[in-house]
Structure 1
Amino acid sequence: MFRFALPALAACCLTSAPLLAQEDDAFSLQGTATMLAAEAGRAAEAGDWEAARRALEAALGLKPQHPAYLSGLVRIGLNTGDADLIFDALERMADAGIAVTLSNLGDADESLRVMQPDRYAALDAAMARLTSPEGEAEREARIAYDGLIEGLAMDIETDRLFLSSVSGREVLLIEPFDRETYTVFADAEDGLYSVFGMAVDSRNRVLWVTTGVLPQTGLPEGETGETALVALDLITGDVYRRYTIDGADRMADIAVRDGIVYVTDSGANRVYRLQTLNSDLELLSDDPRFASLQGLALAQGGLYVADYALGLWRVDLDDGAATLVRSGSESLIGIDGLGATRDGERLIAVRNGMNPHQVFAIDFAPRGRIVSGTEILLRGHADFGEPTLLDVEDGRVWLVANSPWSQYPDDGTGPAGAVAPLVVLEIDLD
């Protein structure tokens, strides 16, 4: 996970350092945008602010509403005294749903206020709206757990709630009669490493989980681990079968419909499919443009896959061809968890890649390749820390509200400080 904050990102945009480790493919959207950002950085270092601006605008043409590139334009405006450029970039951020604290602009804040008071007031009001709470949610569960939780799944038939632990290498079970206590449903003895995505398969009565290895896994010395899709008996937690595929790196999120399972691989940037319990994992899509695949959901007759760095892909279920969805004004960058409503008409997304964190619904124009609008479902909730994954069932959304990723650095240490009780929130869509 990474964060977007104005000062840090503005500096990042105007240097030649890559934004993400995956951004090394010059022929991908991500790679090309990264090269343009690096070009902007070199131009800025040479004092050629106009060349830096043109390069960032070109990068934004590939990755619309990217907060790092927009904040880079702000930085250029600050260095050149171009108030219109600063206002334009900040207004584009506000339209994209990206909040910025204007006081972080330092002395320029007051100057902008004086130079264009009406425009400043409108921008300040827009930023205030973005940071104000919106939507309602009920606390479904709250458990004291000294570990890193990533995902969840709800068994709607029994009202049992499952949580996936990255650091504990286990699946937790929370019963409906006690939402503050958990038991271990499956763990390392069942061949689990870090557990990421989960999904209940009502047709086959199994709990699907993905497992793999990260620095936060905490493997004992001599253990190497692997990534796999695992089917657990929904009642006992026993392993029914384990599925692997050549070339897999880190299987992550899961979507299930009619017993067919779809899985993203966040390490290899591929999408897999499992047709039946007794078949083998198959490669559905491995488009070289994929940059950072996360959640996925079936809607509008296709498979939608969140790309943390680029937005949303629509993957054809027949041939695996991927099309980057054209966004509206709202940024689709930074989406982690993804689900779909029961009728398959809307997507429900968790965005944690920028300020503010939020849950929002996505609507599409006919054919499902263009976003027609978005609706904020939850923002600024008192229990929000870092929301991650969700489950959408029976007109309701359940989500992990405060996953403690920030306390578990990539060097394998952690937690840094006491871990707050884990909260699961429920949103009623009806």
Structure 2
Amino acid sequence: MKTSLITLALLAAVVATPVAAQKVDPASDLGRFHALRAEGMAALQKNDRQTALDRLTQAGEIIPDSPSVLLLRAQAALELKRRPVARAALIDYLTRGLVLDLGRYPEFNTLWDADLESLQAENTRRIGSLSVLHRVEGLNLIEGVAAMDDGTLLGTSLRNGAVGPVSAAGIDQRLSLRAGVAANAIALKDGALWASTAASRQTVGYAPDAKVVSKIIKVDPATGKIRAQFEDKRPDRRLSDLHAGKEDLYVSDGNTGEVLRLTGYQGPLQVLIPEGYLGSPQGLSENADATVLIVADYASGLYRIDLTTGTLARLKAPADTVLLGLDGLYRYGNDLIAVQNGFKPNRILRLKMNADWSAVETTEVLLRGQPELEEPTGGQVIGDRFVFVARSQWSEFDDKGNIKRDTPAPVVIGEIKLKP
């Protein structure tokens, strides 16, 4: 039972992220966290519960919103018969909006009471309203959307390797890529469509042995003609989320853990955050004066890059939320709209930032619990609306890229209203 609980607690923090190929710097926040968590789990397996609690507490000081550490701390404290400490860890877990399956974690039944049940019930309560713009039938696996000036909504289908206008019938293929390659993210800037491309197991024609270079491409959105392409030929690149900033374009590499910059939208791709600091960088967003870039790392939360000095700092999560498992990240005024698909129930969050984006002051759940909200992905803030992929169809595939069923639930493109 003990080994099973350790395994399940670890799985609680393993969000749906690509398998990382990079080496983590042991001196980084992520590296120190991984080491302490591993030491704590090893101590638990050896029945050295006090050492386990000490190491897990230290890990929690680095990433206090780690669900796995919160549950492992509760387990270690419970085995030491420190019920108040164990219960406090569960309260912290639930206060952050997470849900605990007692059927999978039966040892916590001895701590469960009406107060904990009330916290859990609050975390599954439906919040917000979602307006459905499109239900796209068939298997498309739409990852990102971008709106043109005339209101036309473009989308990228990972399944078909296509980019073009979205309708109920699917994506009108305006840009076609080679077999097995798809655009992960798209953005419009000064009349050009920018996309990150990579080989994908979910894409028709994928061949694991094919030599495919992950690229940034610049496209004429009217004709689909590729005007320019940018790459650095690193063989393990898998470019994913991108942000079309005021002066520069930024793209994350979920495989190597790097964040790259295309300075002035031209020239070679440059490494902004090198390998070793982030586990799986995803969404990116620049502040209004283009002096700060925030990156969402699926594994460890939000990071702030000072674009003037190049310094990197991790932002601490407020006590009432989790900043792990964030995918898309979009600026609205001085706040950030975040898509959180790493935990269930999935959520759309509003992160209220301080003036210089050095801290998340408070968070607000904008959307949670709607049946159409399933593996949400990319979107765009358009005025006072957030238009995004509410149901992407990632749940229609297993970890090896195999299709689970013959008739998939449709992709849902939705929007929520934002208030200044």
Q: If the length of structure 1 is used for normalisation, what is the TM-score?
A: 0.86
Q: Does 1:234 align with 2:221?
A: yes
**In the alignment, structure 1 residue 124 sits paired with structure 2 residue 110:** no
> Can you list the C-alpha shifts for 1:63-114, whole angstroms capped at 9, x where unaligned?
12101111112332454444323311111112222122446543752x335x
Letter in 2 for 1:331: V
2:196 matched to which residue of 1?
210
SS at match of 1:253: strand
Q: Is the 8 A contact 1:407 1:417 kept in 2?
A: no
| Aligned position for 1:10 | 9
CA distance in structure 2 between the partners assigned to 1:84 and 1:23 by the alignment: 38
Counterparts of 1:165 and 1:272, CA distance in 2: 23
Q: 1:122 to 1:141 in 2, by over 3 A?
A: same
1:23–1:387 Cα change, 3 Å: farther
1:122 Cα deviation from its structure 2 partner:
2.4
Q: Quick one: structure 1 residues 183 and 242, their matched pair in 2 at CA, closer, same or farther if it must change by over 3 Å?
A: same
Aligned sequence identity (%): 28
Name 1:421's counterpart in structure 2.
410
What pairs up with 1:126-145 in 2 under 5 angstroms? 126-145=119-138
Residue type matched to 1:236 in 2? T
Partner of 2:360: 371
Question: Is residue 149 of structure 1 aligned with residue 142 of structure 2?
Answer: yes
CA contact (8 A) 1:13 1:38 kept: no
Q: Does 1:298 align with 2:291?
A: no
CA distance in 2, matches of 1:80, 1:417: 49
Provide the residue aligned with 1:256 in structure 2: 244
Q: Which runs of 5+ in 2 are unaligned?
A: none
Tell me the distance in 2 between the aligned counterparts of 1:54 and 1:65.
17
- In the aligned structure 2, how far is the partner of 1:365 from the partner of 1:267? 31
Aligned equivalent of 2:159, options 167, 171, 196: 167
CA distance in 2, matches of 1:78, 1:61: 20
The alpha-carbon deviation at position 141 of structure 1 amounts to: 0.9
Pick one of 327, 331, 335 that aligns with 2:326.
Answer: 335
CA apart distance, 1:34: 1.6
**Structure 1 residues 285, 46: CA separation in 2 closer, same or farther (over 3 Å shift)?**
closer
The one-letter code sitting in structure 1 at the alignment partner of 2:318 is G
CA contact (8 A) 2:285 2:330 kept: yes
2:403 pairs with 1:411: no
- Residues 387 and 221 from structure 1, CA distance in 2 versus in 1: closer, same or farther, beyond 3 angstroms? closer
RMSD value, Cα: 2.7
1:23-54 per-position Cα deviation (integer Å, ceiling 9, x unaligned): 75423322222221221122111111111111
1:325 CA drift (Å): 1.4
Task: Tell me the secondary structure at the aligned position of residue 375 of structure 1.
Answer: strand
Structure 1 residues 13, 148: closer, same or farther in 2, change over 3 A? closer
TM-score, scaled to structure 2: 0.88
After superposition, residues 365-404 of structure 1 pair within 5 angstroms as: 365-404=354-393
- For 1:337 and 1:44, the matched residues in 2 are separated by 36
* Divergent runs of 4+, >6 A: none
Letter in 2 for 1:163: G
User: 1:328 deviation in Å?
Assistant: 1.2
From 169, 173, 184, the counterpart of 1:196? 184
Per the alignment, do residues 314 and 46 of structure 1 end up closer, same or farther by CA in structure 2, a change over 3 Å counting? same
Using a 3 Å threshold, how does the CA distance of structure 1 residues 228 and 192 change in structure 2: closer, same or farther?
A: farther
Instruction: Please point out which of 321, 332, 337 is paired with 1:348.
Output: 337
**1:165, distance to aligned residue in structure 2 (A):** 2.2
Per-residue CA deviation, residues 257-299 of structure 1 (Å, 9 max, x unaligned), is: 3463221122222222223454333333326322210000112
Distance 1:192 1:95 in 2: 42
| In structure 2, distance between residues paired with 1:292 and 1:313 | 12
Distance 1:88 1:188, change over 3 A: same
Indicate how the Cα distance of structure 1 residues 195 and 47 shifts in structure 2: closer, same or farther if over 3 A, else same.
same
Q: Structure 2: how far apart are the matches of 1:167 and 1:307?
A: 25
State the alpha-carbon separation in 1 of the partners of residues 212 and 19 from structure 2: 25
Matched, 1:71 2:63: no
